[in-house]
Amino acid sequence: MSNARLKIVKRAVHEIKDGMNVNLGIGIPTLIANEIPSDYNVLLQSESGLLGIGPYPLEGEEDPDLINAGKETVTAIPGASFFDSAEAFAMIRGGHLDLTILGGMEVSEKGDLANWMIPGKKANGMGGAMDLVSGAKRVVVVMEHVNKKGEPKVKKECSLPLTGKEVVSRLITDLAVFDFSSEGMILKEIAEEVTIDELKKKTEANFSISPDLKTF
């Protein structure tokens, strides 16, 4: 895991509270499962049909029948349940998830999310993201702040196909944490080694600064 991703994962795990039902998207979000405190009673749900996902298995202990939505082998905690994808999506669409943490390709200053395809590149399908952003009680997006070319991924308007409009509750990057409200995009936390000026240079979107801005 890169330092940027590790920083995101360490910060994002604090969004998960004891007693929650949570869905973790593919990519960076799946890495959060191993960081959840062992004394937390948290049920992780996969749209592939598993409620009660545990940590990644140790090498040699993988079970090919136990996978998450990203087709990675996982473990199941005691008391986990298995069901078909129709039941899994009924949970999502019925509003039974307290939180979903998803990866992102772009997020706009209005809280729009683009995370399912890049035009011209092969895509296996939209997956469950569109259902998750409309069905979960809270949507947190995790992603690196800039792309491999150093271009901002936090934009005034998303240029990629949207997953959902004005659906993001909180955005966590390796540089900052933003919240979204009717007042716009608000900077809530900033990484210790990052200055406001540096953040503005790497952020296309307009944002205000919370009066109780913290570091992480």
Give the active site residue among 47, 109, 144, 189: 47
Sign of CA dihedral 152, 168, 133, 112: negative
Residues 6+ apart with CB under 8 A from 54: 33, 44, 74, 75, 76, 77, 80
Tell me the C-alpha to C-alpha distance, in Å, between residue 122 and each of 119, 126, 160, 176: 8, 11, 14, 31
Residue type present at position 70:
G
196 sits in which H/E element: helix 196-201
Q: What is the H or E stretch that residue 154 is in?
A: strand 154-155
Q: Does an H or E element contain 189, and which?
A: strand 184-190
47 flagged as catalytic: yes
The set of catalytic residues is 47
